[in-house]
């Protein structure tokens, strides 16, 4: 694509993003290329979206193929094949469930809350409507998901948000038991690996205790795997490390290779509680995005792919540890697979900016954590290059 002739930042866009003044014009694998020809190693993957890298042949091929049918969109008034097949394939790859397709992560969260409330209402009536979320959580920017997001700066300007949300501490089972009640709680929502909250891996024992508590009190357990799911943790879903299943599973980001798509998987008992007409969306599960998502899912679940992610993660881990051992500012290394956090003694955003000057793109996760989300197929040597640039930025 040729760059626009006017490359100074426009004032026509709503000023909600602080973007650096770099205009990207193309991408290739783990690289993004700016209009001046400078190449940046992209360890953001579009915040966990470009799991197969930029310009992935599988994704580009699937987009072309999907377009050939002439069906980009029909709405959910009518049946189309790719969404039906994709739903079956997602269910086959996860747990018995039914799928609702939407267009973003936050929308899958809103749907999760509606389904959970609908199901809980069949047990405890209107009183059983409360949602329990966790400190450090991020579930989205819409009124329901924002209410379950523990970020005062994101929440406060827009209050009142959706009422009925309580916050618990990860790891504090006694506190959780007080908040989660049979009579009042509809759902508990948790990211098995907290992303925005600083790449915090929730211990598998706690996830199992949560599962048991939700079963005992007839509460829907929602896993938000929008950032950590679909291969990023080295498993198809991070909750697989705990050997348990949620009642509702939120996915989005990498699902359609960079095209907007989200999905909510609902276990049969929850899915059965909602009737035709009670929820919906115009674009969700359209034939083009669903066709591309089928190819992405097939790629990530192909034999050897996840083993490759774990192998690359080991290489990244080794480099990060070596870097940490030499650094006076690294406080903690976090994460699994290719979702990693480097907690620093200092301002993460300043380091992100410094790394950018050195040709490495990173994103902060809170005030003192640098997040690394390289494409899942990044070659070892580029993982090492990325850590070298990060080390330079840290120094």
Residue 54 CA to residue 328 CA, distance in Å, equals 34
Residue 53 CA to residue 45 CA, distance in Å, equals 7
Pick the closer one to ligand PLP by CB: 49 or 323: 49
100 binds ligand PLP (CB under 6 A): no
CB of 267 to ligand PLP, least distance (A): 20
Q: Which of 27, 29, 83, 105 binds ligand PLP (CB under 6 A)?
A: 105
Site string (347-386) toward ligand PLP, x via CB under 6 A: ----------------------------------------
Please, which of residues 308-337 interact with ligand PLP by CB under 6 A?
Answer: none
Please, which of residues 30-89 interact with ligand PLP by CB under 6 A?
Answer: 47
According to the 3-state scheme, what is the secondary structure of the chain? CCCCCCCCCCCCCCCCCCCCCCCEEEEEECEEEECCCCEEEECCHHHHCCCCCECCHHHHHHHHHHHHCCCCCCCCCCCCHHHHHHHHHHHHHCCCCEEEEECCHHHHHHHHHHHHHHHHHHHHHHHCCEEEEECCCCCCCCHHHHHCCCCHHHHHHHCCCCCCEEEECCCCHHHHHHHCCCCCEEEEEECCEECCCCCEECCHHHHHHHHHHHHHCCCEEEEECCCCCCCCCCCCCHHHHHCCCCCEEEECCCCEECECCEEEEECHHHHCCCCCCCCCCCCCCCHHHHHHHHHHHHHHHCCCHHHHHHHHHHHHHHHHHHHHHHCCCEEEEEEECCEEEEEECCCHHHHHHHHHHCCEECEECCCCEEEECCCCCCCHHHHHHHHHHHHHHHC
**Contact residues for 360 (Cβ-Cβ < 8 A; gap 6+):** 40, 41, 43, 386, 389, 390, 393
CB of 227 to ligand PLP, least distance (A): 4
Residue 85 structure tokens: 């097949």
Pick the closer one to ligand PLP by CB: 149 or 319: 149
CB of 364 to ligand PLP, least distance (A): 13
Please, which of residues 114-153 interact with ligand PLP by CB under 6 A?
Answer: 138-140
227 binds ligand PLP (CB under 6 A): yes
Pick the closer one to ligand PLP by CB: 99 or 252: 252
How big is the site for ligand PLP, counted in residues (CB under 6 A)?
14
Site string (152-191) toward ligand PLP, x via CB under 6 A: ---------------------------------------x
CB of 366 to ligand PLP, least distance (A): 12
Pick the closer one to ligand PLP by CB: 187 or 394: 187
246 binds ligand PLP (CB under 6 A): no
Nearest Cα neighbor of 86 from 284, 313, 234, 242 is: 284
CB of 139 to ligand PLP, least distance (A): 5
Q: Which residue is nearest to ligand PLP (CB)?
A: 105
Q: Which of 226, 263, 300, 344 binds ligand PLP (CB under 6 A)?
A: 226
CB of 284 to ligand PLP, least distance (A): 13
195 binds ligand PLP (CB under 6 A): yes
104 binds ligand PLP (CB under 6 A): yes
Binding segment for ligand PLP (CB under 6 A), chosen from 34-42, 62-70, 100-108, 111-119, is 100-108
Binding segment for ligand PLP (CB under 6 A), chosen from 83-91, 102-110, 270-278, 324-332, is 102-110
Longest dimension (CA), the chain: 62
Pick the closer one to ligand PLP by CB: 202 or 273: 202
Q: Which of 224, 317, 368, 391 binds ligand PLP (CB under 6 A)?
A: 224
Give the footprint of ligand PLP on this chain (CB under 6 A).
47, 104-106, 138-140, 191, 195-196, 224, 226-227, 252
């Amino acid at each position: 694509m040729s760059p626009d002739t006017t490359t100074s930042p426009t004032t026509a866009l709503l000023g909600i993003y602080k973007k650096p003044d770099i205009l990207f014009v193309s991408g290739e694998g783990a690289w993004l290329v700016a209009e001046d020809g400078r190449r940046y190693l992209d360890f953001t993957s579009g915040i966990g979206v470009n799991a197969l890298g930029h310009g992935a042949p599988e994704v580009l091929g699937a987009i072309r193929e999907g377009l050939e049918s002439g069906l980009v969109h029909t709405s959910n008034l009518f049946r189309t094949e790719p969404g039906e097949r994709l739903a079956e394939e997602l269910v086959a790859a996860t747990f018995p469930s039914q799928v609702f397709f939407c267009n973003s992560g936050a929308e899958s969260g809103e749907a999760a809350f509606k389904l959970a409330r609908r199901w809980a209402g069949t047990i405890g009536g209107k009183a059983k409507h409360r949602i329990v979320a966790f400190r450090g959580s991020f579930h989205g920017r819409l009124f329901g998901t924002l209410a379950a997001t523990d970020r005062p700066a994101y929440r406060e300007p827009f209050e009142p948000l959706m009422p009925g949300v309580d916050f618990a501490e990860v790891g504090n089972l006694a506190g959780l038991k007080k908040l989660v009640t049979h009579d009042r709680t509809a759902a508990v929502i948790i990211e098995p690996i907290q992303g925005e909250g600083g790449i915090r891996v929730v211990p598998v024992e706690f996830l199992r205790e949560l599962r048991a508590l939700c079963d005992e009190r007839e509460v829907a357990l929602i896993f938000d795997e929008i950032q950590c799911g679909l291969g990023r943790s080295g498993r198809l879903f991070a909750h697989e490390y705990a050997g348990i299943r949620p009642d509702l599973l939120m996915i989005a980001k990498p699902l359609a290779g960079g095209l907007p798509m989200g999905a909510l998987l609902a276990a049969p008992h929850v899915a059965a509680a909602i009737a035709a007409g009670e929820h919906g969306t115009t674009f969700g599960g359209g034939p083009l995005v669903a066709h591309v998502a089928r190819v992405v899912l097939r790629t990530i679940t192909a034999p050897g792919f996840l083993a490759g992610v774990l192998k690359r993660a080991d290489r990244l881990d080794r480099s990060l540890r070596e870097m940490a051992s030499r650094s006076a500012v690294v406080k903690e290394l976090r994460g699994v697979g290719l979702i990693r956090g480097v907690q620093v003694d200092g301002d993460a955003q300043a380091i992100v900016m410094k790394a950018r000057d050195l040709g490495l793109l990173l994103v902060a996760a809170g005030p003192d954590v640098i997040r690394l989300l390289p494409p899942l197929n990044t070659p070892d040597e580029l993982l090492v290059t990325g850590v070298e640039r990060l080390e330079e930025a840290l120094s």
